[in-house]
Structure 1
Amino acid sequence: MGINEKNRLWIYAIIGMLTTVVVLSFARLSYGVILPFMKDGLQISYKEAGYLGTVTSFGYLSTLIFAGILASKWGGKRTVLLGISLVTMGLIGLTFTPSYWVTMIFMLLLGVGTSFTYTPFISLLVGWFPTKKGLVIGFATSGSGIGILFSGMLVPFLGSINSEIGWRFAWGIFAIISLGVLTVTYLIIKNPPSVLPSKYSAKQTPPMEIYKNRKVIHVGLIYGIIGVTYIIQMIFIMSYMVDSGISSKLAGQLIAINGILSIFSGPIWGLISDKVGRRISLILTMSLTMVSMFIPVFMPTLLGFSLHIVILSSTTTGLFTLTQASSMDHVKPADMPLAFSYVTFYFAVGQLIGPAIAGWLIEDWGGFKSAFLFSSIILAIGLFLTIKLKNSEQPQPAIQKELSKGLTQS
């Protein structure tokens, strides 16, 4: 890989990171930080708050397959631009939303926009850098940590200034940043070369064969469990801490710590997995994630929440990176985008059902402890599936060199 290609890798990785800040952190994960303030502003219950999270996940899930089809016809760049535009519209709408029911529309837009952005952008990155997918996916997912850090500092600060409309200013700031990322993506990002060396770029496998691939399904089930637990944690952890007697300012600082550690989690675990294998790395990260989720169930104190956040933030973004990369290790390069899109469907289903289940458990079955206990139990199932996962089928070095050569020459 020449100097120009090295520059492209880092430039694209940074833009991927910024895109993740917008479509994952701002459009999806920041909702949990804003929720305590937004809940009071809109006068909604935790059950209704869970439904809003479900609506966003429904928008994501219902358009995910269509987004993949559109990306194959339009190209990744145009699809990503459409997605960021929809997210920006949703963020602007939430800034001025007058009621719960109107809010649902804008939350739906966030989910739809994310589906048209995240998976096509990751596929675009892998298309450019097929031999560095663990690294580039890791850098892209680290954007979620940066966004969480920013949200954790900004939202409580704005809430302390004006508890009634501070949350609206937060959505507005997110919208402005989203517009900036949209502009940068339009000016810099290009679609990857479509022609790879012929002896390694055989025709794409028929989609049904990918959908029936047991190894890909196995990874998809693991990713679905991650989807359920991660969205529950992100939406309700702030409210859980406040409900347990921790001030919103201190809770926000803990969320910010989560963001700081998450920034490094994705790239580090991605690089480790490229060296020692996905399976071993997945087992380690899944085990630590499960332990972290158990802690606040039995220790809903400042110490317990601190341990929970430190452990979780050191592993969860890495868990995303490893699962996404693993989904593409079991197929040939031409089928990587389809395999990634397919396992992301499982993740989206998990995110769809997670908030509704958690909201129901919190309101009717024992409060926040029951929701986090539920997450811990299904993470244990995820750990079992991870242990049973077969070793990844990494491409041979010669093939990797040819792929990189093909991209360089295109």
Structure 2
Amino acid sequence: MGRKRVIHYGWIVMAMGLLTTIGAHGFGRMAYTLILPPMKDGLQFTYTQLGLLATGNFIGYLSLAIIGGFLASKFGTRIVIALALALMGITMILTGLAQSLGFAFVMRLLTGFGNGAAYVPAMALGSAWFAAKRRGFATGIVSGGIGAGTLLAGLIVPSILTAYGPAGWRFSWYYLGGTVLVISLITYTFIRSRPEERGLSPIGHEEETLPKPQTGGEKAKSLQWGLIYRVKGMWYLGFVYFMYGFSYIIYMTFFAAYLIKEMGLSQAQAGGLWALVGGLSVFCGVIWGGISDLLGRKYGSALAYLTLAVAYTVFALIKSPSGFYLSAVIFGLTAWSIPTIMAAAAGDYVGARLAPAGLGFITLFFGIGQALGPYVGGKLADITQSFMVPFLLASGVSLLGTVTSLYLKKPK
């Protein structure tokens, strides 16, 4: 009789990584795009203030992204992700109680802390559970959760806003935050940090012999973390990643506000377009991760940046339903390409064990761009009374990302 084929536990871990990004990015961050317009009306905020809230979220993300990667390398991905998601869930619920800019800012800041601490270790799971030749594909599975969460938010949030009227934005935070708390419990139950914990080899590993379970003494030591800073390629990789953080977040943050406040679309129409972005982006990580495995990180990143620049330009200049849909389709198919490629590249440079810390390091650069983008974009929108200039700025920065990607070097 043939041996019964059992699914490798790595696939279960990837499913948990997907669930993590649904909660951390899809609900914790991308839903803000749809909640932003009614939240603006309810609290009487300007676009500059709303951009400041988004910046606060990304400052929190930036602060914990690098630390979260290091903590995951030292203490294990499972506990870090579960605690980070719990923090997100609680502070998202509290965001719904906001009555002032100060309180809302602090809650978005704390949500950002949890977002960074959950997302970076989740994106590094592929480097631990898959061999290098399949790393881009595996990371793409996890990043697919961003699209899935965005799709779900696009379908759910407009219904909540309609059902609860002026208080709809508050109940949106309540429901989304509660869901993230449930996700934290599920991921804690099923995630394992490395294959060795279950006596397994990474998926795609050519050796058939199983490694011995890892002991606590073999976890990444603080002295090893310094190796990341000494890899010159990691600094340049972070610089390339900055371009994505600055450009994509302008598009994401003001997507619905532009369509509703400037173009005159309804909340339902904007939500439908946002759901389209989310639905298409579910598989973009897998697609672009595979492209980067095939073409190399350099050319994969350059092509992705160029495609994103086209999406931003179309959104800014073709002010018609056809332009909105074309931009949404292009962006949806490319949205999480750069994070997927950067996560795989970080694993290429520093290896599987330090991949979470490596990704955390380059996320520092990404986070700086992400913190600057909403404030600059919101300020430009207030000054020009239009979102065209912010979107064209995003396109220009993305084109710069195309050029800088071409100078990425292969790890030695």
Q: Name the aligned partner's letter for residue 301 of structure 2.
A: L
Deviation at 1:206, TM superposition (A): 4.5
Question: Separation in 1 of the partners of 2:67 and 2:409?
Answer: 30
Question: Separation in 2 of the partners of 1:254 and 1:271?
Answer: 26
TM-score normalized by the length of structure 2: 0.88
Counterpart pick for 2:327 among 301, 305, 308: 308
Corresponding residue SS for 2:45: coil
Where does 1:107-126 land on structure 2 (aligned, <5 Å)? Answer: 107-126=108-127
Q: Name the aligned partner's letter for residue 367 of structure 2.
A: A
Question: Separation in 2 of the partners of 1:191 and 1:332?
Answer: 15
Counterpart pick for 1:261 among 280, 286, 290: 280
Deviation at 1:281, TM superposition (A): 1.9
C-alpha change, 1:203 and 1:235, in structure 2 (3 Å) is closer
**Alignment partner, residue 171 of structure 1:** 173
**Alignment partner, residue 7 of structure 1:** 8
**Alignment partner, residue 347 of structure 1:** 366
Question: Separation in 2 of the partners of 1:320 and 1:275?
Answer: 17
Counterpart pick for 2:266 among 244, 247, 270: 247
Do structure 1's residue 181 and structure 2's residue 199 form an aligned pair?
no
**Alignment partner, residue 206 of structure 2:** none
Deviation at 1:120, TM superposition (A): 1.9
**Alignment partner, residue 332 of structure 1:** 351
Question: Separation in 1 of the partners of 2:56 and 2:120?
Answer: 19
Question: Separation in 1 of the partners of 2:301 and 2:71?
Answer: 31
Question: Separation in 2 of the partners of 1:362 and 1:203?
Answer: 45
> Does the aligned pair in 1 maintain the 2:303–2:402 contact within 8 Å?
no
> Does the aligned pair in 2 maintain the 1:258–1:310 contact within 8 Å?
yes
> Does the aligned pair in 1 maintain the 2:84–2:113 contact within 8 Å?
yes
Counterpart pick for 1:235 among 246, 253, 269: 253
> Does the aligned pair in 1 maintain the 2:69–2:358 contact within 8 Å?
no
**Alignment partner, residue 224 of structure 1:** 242
> Does the aligned pair in 2 maintain the 1:25–1:148 contact within 8 Å?
yes
Deviation at 1:220, TM superposition (A): 1.0
1:47-68 per-residue CA deviation (whole Å, 9 max, x = no partner) reads 1000000111111112333323
1:152-211 per-residue CA deviation (whole Å, 9 max, x = no partner) reads 12222222333301112211221221122111112111221379979xx99988544422
**Alignment partner, residue 24 of structure 2:** 23
For structure 1, which runs of at least 5 residues remain unmatched after alignment? 394-410
1:248-293 per-residue CA deviation (whole Å, 9 max, x = no partner) reads 2111111111011000111122123223322222222111111111
Do structure 1's residue 385 and structure 2's residue 412 form an aligned pair?
no
Question: Separation in 1 of the partners of 2:220 and 2:174?
Answer: 46
**Alignment partner, residue 307 of structure 2:** 288
Question: Separation in 1 of the partners of 2:56 and 2:361?
Answer: 21
TM-score normalized by the length of structure 1: 0.88
Deviation at 1:3, TM superposition (A): 4.7
C-alpha change, 1:180 and 1:251, in structure 2 (3 Å) is same
For structure 2, which runs of at least 5 residues remain unmatched after alignment? 202-210, 213-217
Identity between Structure 1 and Structure 2 (%):
32
Question: Separation in 2 of the partners of 1:80 and 1:145?
Answer: 19
C-alpha change, 1:111 and 1:67, in structure 2 (3 Å) is same
Deviation at 1:234, TM superposition (A): 1.1
Q: Name the aligned partner's letter for residue 142 of structure 1.
A: G
